Structure 1
Amino acid sequence: MKDDLKPKHYEIIRAKHPAYIEAVENLGKAVHGCGPLDSKTLLLVQLGAAAASHSEGSVLSHARRALKAGASLDEIYHALIGLTSTIGFPTVAAAMSWVRKALDED
């Protein structure tokens, strides 16, 4: 897996709008610190939301960060499979394929 968890497009936005990205990152820190869920669990929840919104980049980002936070690939795939009755098989299968393709390339 690549060490840099942020995609090139994110870094382009950061270069052009640093105050905006700083605010986004501060919001993320606030979200992680405001409740009882550990980082791994919260990232798996966010992974599910990313899959539901069909956001490939966000799915990949949350999967990579969940791995870094201690989630296993089995936990990531289980979190996605658990969405089937809510968001449907095609959306789950797409999210799983994005994760598999990205992690196979890393």
Structure 2
Amino acid sequence: MSKNLPGAAGDLAEKYPSVWSAYSDLGEATANAGGLTDRERRLVKLALSIGAASEGAVHSHARRGLAEGIPYEDLQQVALLAIGPLGFPRGVAAGTWISDVEDTD
């Protein structure tokens, strides 16, 4: 699985496979802990990444969202929704981070 991970995450997975395995298991357990759909989970994770101001995580969740068939416009709406609670600069930054991924696909 680590061969599919870019950059530092892939490096960590290669160097510490047991840590990566535990992290993956936690992700699977939390995903299955409720009734959200795959789409809803992806959009929530994108929103949380925006809130945390994690450019890498926004790129990752936007890229995966596009691969899962979520329209680019829906991903951008998440960035727009961030403007209210997080402020205009954070929402605009998130929109540009999402655009980075759309422009490369």
TM-score (norm. length: structure 2): 0.89
CA distance in 1, matches of 2:91, 2:40: 19
- Give 2:79's aligned amino acid: L
- Preserved CA contact (<8 Å) 2:49 2:55: yes
Q: CA RMSD in A?
A: 1.5
The alignment partner of 1:82 has SS state of helix
Aligned: 1:94 with 2:93: yes
Aligned residue number for residue 84 of structure 1: 83
The 8 Å contact of residues 39 and 70 in structure 2, kept in 1 or not, is answered as: yes
Percent of residue pairs bearing the same amino acid type: 30
Structure 1: runs of 5 or more not aligned: none
C-alpha distance after superposition, 1:74-106 (max 9, x if no partner): 110111211111011111111111111222123
- Between the two proteins, the alignment pairs up a number of residues equal to 103
1:69–1:32: structure 2 CA closer, same or farther, 3 Å change rule?
A: farther
Query: CA 1:67–1:9 in 2, change beyond 3 Å: closer, same or farther?
Result: same
Structure 1 length normalisation: TM-score?
Answer: 0.88
Structure 2 portions without partners, runs of 5+: none
The equivalent residue for 1:48 is 47
Higher relative contact order (CA 8 A, sep 6+): 1
The residue that corresponds to 2:12 in the other structure is 13
Note if contact 2:62-2:101 (Cα within 8 Å) is conserved in structure 1: no
